[in-house]
Amino acid sequence: MSASGANQDRTRRPSRARKALIQLAIVATLLVALELVLAAAGVEPGSAGGDPYVGFAGNRPLFQRDDSGLLRTDPEKLNLFNEQSFRDPKPDNTTRIFTLGGSTTYGRPYDDRTSFSAWLRELLPVGDPTRDYEVINAGGISYASYRVAVVMEELLAYEPDVFVIYSGHNEFLEQRHYSALAETPRPLLRLFSLLSRTRLFSVARRLVSGDRPTGSATVGAGGEPGAPAQLAGEVQTLLDNSLGPEQYTRDDELRDQVVAHFRFNLDRMVSMARDAGADVILVTPASALRDCLPFKGEDAPAGAVPAVERNARRLYEQGLALLAAGDTEGAVTALTRARDEDVCPLRAVSPIVAATREVAAARDVPLVDFVDVLADAMLARSGHTLPGAEWFLDHVHPTLDGHRMLGLHIAGALRRAELWEAPPNWDPRLPAQVAPIIEARVDAEFQGFALRNLAKVLGWAGKDQEAANLARRSQELLGSGDAETWFLLGTFASADVRLDEAVQHYRAAVAIDPGYAEAWFNLGQALLVTGPLDEAGTAADKARQLMPDAARAHLLVGLVASRRGLHAEAEQALARALALGEDSAALHNNLGLAQLRQDRASEARRSFERAIARDPDYAKGHYNLALLLMAAGDLDAAAGHLERALQSAPDYTAARHKLAEVRERQQAGG
């Protein structure tokens, strides 16, 4: 190429670059113009579509305006949110702080009155009486970060100054899938989030989707390829419609995707708040490591390295043993892994905590590291960093002192971020005049009922020991007058095979509430084992009167009557249980015994045969059928059933003796 040609080429290159820049500017100008036109036309930006992972089947606003202009919590949401109210527009000289998150923010097992929001609400005016401070608790029970983000979207319209976000414990509560978006690089997801809040994106999304209503797919359904999961408008947890923690199975890939989604939501909420001119404070989600048995342990999958223990419950036992032996470092490792390996992860796992710290650092957001705060408090108190019942009422919900500690540290973060004008000589300890205000809201009855309800939840989750401890504390607070607390104590004693103690608790429950059907039923069950049988019969009859359509109540009446030798009454009750849908091997076996003792051997035989048809491993059914066959002279068949009974129950002494008798008779020629 000649020198002149090279010079011409160099002069064309800048021209092409300038042309590309001009074209880009034209496109950008057109997009801005379209956005302005859509704004003038009243098109709302598509903030609700800002989460590429999930969508929602409708979303009812949290706050409604009353006749006076006050915004109040929607009455239909009071089962999940505290009753709160505030003015719109915001009064002058007011700092408005919204606290967001799940049940910890809500204040469970109590409510807003003792939450960290309440401590903050009372504390801030004491430190700075020159301004009005509103602390509005918008924490929703069972709300995960993706639902918290939707709440924030609504609150952006109400002139927020600060959002305090405590989230991370509920990320695994709802069933959902992740499409190929789970593999999308984080910068592209952030770009998606930014674009999704434009009016142009909102219109384009509706056009592409054919203006389908949000939520046309079912929970966890795949929908079209690459589509996000569609969740119900309100929380529907796996625990609500299942047998509890047994619904969960180990899924490491899903766990990684959930953590990525959580990180995205925190980052997105920081962007939304800053776009609205509000500040954010993040809080790391802390949990009990001691005094908290994992919800579900499960062995490592086949093919895993045998040396790596992944069963959460065994890790928990190892951690407690190490702590008792003085190996605090080993205990911290084991108990942290026990939390992280819990197959039913209702405590924020380590990657969730790490994600909170990372987002705070990357976005220059003030962080209250509640995990470290409690670890330091434990180190000063006990020489280790493992929080338990000192700070938590259960696996994640702080004690009153825990909420106080958190409120203080959030106030400190507000001060350091110059969001709260506390005086220079401000004492970081809670002023003496604030604590009595909070504590006066928590009388013995309020605490007792809250702990009782928490005990019910933990008992349902299979954590009987922790639940029993809470029930005992509830009983101490409520005194002897609460039937449900006595009932809970009875159920936990029964589960621990302390039946005499259980009987006493159930007796106390029915003495307080004679119409308590479940307590009568459980009392009858316990007395069937311990006696006296007359009282068992009375309890069973009472349960049947209160639950006339419950098959199990008629079954209990039948079992007690059979034990008392009232065979006709037993048969009648058992037949009624069968008619109401009870179809267990035990029912057919006991019906057969009642028939046999009324000299109706052929009917009894059919009942025993039905029993083992229902459960081929039911040893008692095989044994009783064998006795009939022996009486009829069919020794070979009898021997077969006795052998089957011993296969199912090798320690069945009566069956072993009868089999020996059959063998002797066979050898003797019958």
**458-502 pLDDT, tens per residue?**
887 788 889 999 999 999 999 888 999 999 999 999 998 999 999
Give the residue with greater pLDDT, 52 vs 89.
89
79 and 101 in a common domain: yes
Q: CB 371: neighbour CB atoms within 10 A?
A: 21
**pLDDT tens figures, 46-56:** 543 467 677 77
Using DSSP's 3-state secondary structure scheme, residue 259 falls into: helix
Determine, yes or no, domain membership for 223.
no
| CATH code, 166 | 3.40.50.1110
Strand order in the sheet with 63-65: 63-65, 70-73, 85-87
Give the residue with greater pLDDT, 8 vs 310.
310
Determine, yes or no, domain membership for 662.
yes
Determine, yes or no, domain membership for 527.
yes
434 and 326 in a common domain: no
138 and 31 in a common domain: no
**Of the candidates 442, 469, 489, which is a domain's last residue?**
442
Q: What is the pLDDT of residue 225?
A: 40
Interval 311-331 mean pLDDT: 97
Q: What is the pLDDT of residue 248?
A: 87
162 and 149 in a common domain: yes
Q: What is the pLDDT of residue 441?
A: 86
417 and 390 in a common domain: yes
Give the residue with greater pLDDT, 446 vs 239.
446
Q: Is the pLDDT of residue 257 over 70?
A: yes
383 and 269 in a common domain: yes
Sequence-ordered list of residues with C-beta below 8 angstroms from that of 320, at least 6 positions apart, any chain: 290, 331, 335
Q: What is the pLDDT of residue 189?
A: 55
Task: Give the C-alpha separation, 412 to 283, whole Å.
Answer: 13
Q: What is the pLDDT of residue 209?
A: 45
Q: Is the pLDDT of residue 429 over 80?
A: no
Band of residue 421 on the pLDDT scale cut at 50, 70, 90? confident
**Of the candidates 416, 442, 468, which is a domain's last residue?**
442
**Neighbour-count burial of 637, counting CB atoms closer than 10 A to its CB (0-12 exposed, 13-18 middle, 19+ buried):** middle
580 and 648 in a common domain: yes
Q: What is the pLDDT of residue 668?
A: 83
End-to-end CA distance of the chain: 117
Determine, yes or no, domain membership for 384.
yes
508 and 418 in a common domain: no
Amino acid making up residue 324: A
**pLDDT tens figures, 326-375:** 999 999 999 999 999 999 999 999 999 999 999 999 999 999 999 999 99
Band of residue 223 on the pLDDT scale cut at 50, 70, 90? very low
Determine, yes or no, domain membership for 402.
yes
State how far Cα 340 lies from the chain centre: 15
Candidate from 52-66, 127-141, 482-496, 525-539 with smallest mean pLDDT: 52-66
Q: How far is CA 494 from CA 510, 561, 639, in A?
A: 16, 22, 37
Task: Give the C-alpha separation, 638 to 634, whole Å.
Answer: 6
Q: Is the pLDDT of residue 186 over 70?
A: no
**Of 380, 111, 402, 160, nearest in space to 269 by CA:** 160
Task: Give the C-alpha separation, 18 to 16, whole Å.
Answer: 5
Band of residue 383 on the pLDDT scale cut at 50, 70, 90? very high
Interval 185-212 mean pLDDT: 56
Determine, yes or no, domain membership for 316.
yes
571 and 662 in a common domain: yes
The boundaries of the domain holding residue 161 are 65-209+235-289+346-442
Determine, yes or no, domain membership for 169.
yes
Q: What is the pLDDT of residue 565?
A: 92
| CATH code, 617 | 1.25.40.10
284 and 413 in a common domain: yes
**Of the candidates 425, 442, 459, which is a domain's last residue?**
442
Within 13 Å and on the Cβ side, how many CA atoms surround 493? 21
Quote the longest CA-to-CA distance of the chain: 124
Band of residue 177 on the pLDDT scale cut at 50, 70, 90? low
pTM: 0.78
Say what percent of the chain tops pLDDT 90.
68
Contact 382, 92 (CB under 8 A): no
Band of residue 636 on the pLDDT scale cut at 50, 70, 90? very high
C-alpha dihedral (585, 589, 591, 595), degrees to nearest 10:
150
Interval 147-151 mean pLDDT: 95
Q: Is the pLDDT of residue 217 over 50?
A: no
Candidate from 49-53, 181-185, 436-440, 593-597 with smallest mean pLDDT: 181-185
285 and 155 in a common domain: yes
Q: What is the pLDDT of residue 306?
A: 57
Determine, yes or no, domain membership for 495.
no
Domain count, the chain: 4
Contact 284, 372 (CB under 8 A): yes
Band of residue 5 on the pLDDT scale cut at 50, 70, 90? low
Q: What is the pLDDT of residue 460?
A: 79
351 and 331 in a common domain: no
User: What rounded mean pLDDT belongs to the chain?
Assistant: 86
Contact 558, 542 (CB under 8 A): no
Candidate from 218-222, 426-430, 433-437 with smallest mean pLDDT: 218-222
Q: What is the pLDDT of residue 224?
A: 43
Candidate from 208-222, 526-540, 622-636 with smallest mean pLDDT: 208-222
